Amino acid sequence: MVYRPRYLDKKRNKPIKKQPVLMNTRIEQGKVIMYYSNGYQLICKKRHIECYDSEEKLKWWLGADGKGEIF
């Protein structure tokens, strides 16, 4: 059997999935805007919550009644 270093072993060499980190939060014009490390923006308004990606495309929204949509 040939010696194989641990860092080359496929079972142990899995990429670590990093969770996005909250970087900044602002309040403007009645909405709370949260910026995350992966470029996403979470905008909370009185009626609904919206999430935008780094290219400013709407990813999902959730209304006060619990209804929403994922794009």
- Given a contact cutoff of 8 angstroms between Cβ atoms, the answer to whether 33 and 22 are in contact is no
CA–CA distance, 35 with 20 (Å, rounded to integer): 10
Question: Is pLDDT at 3 greater than 90 in this prediction?
Answer: no
Give the chain's length.
71
How does DSSP classify residue 66? Answer: S
pLDDT tens sequence across 25-53:
999 998 899 999 988 899 998 888 998 88
Give Rg (Cα) of the chain: 19
pTM of the predicted protein model? 0.64
User: Please, which residues have CB within 8 angstroms of residue 55's CB and are 6 or more apart in sequence?
Assistant: none
The pLDDT-based confidence of 1 (bands split at 50, 70, 90) is low
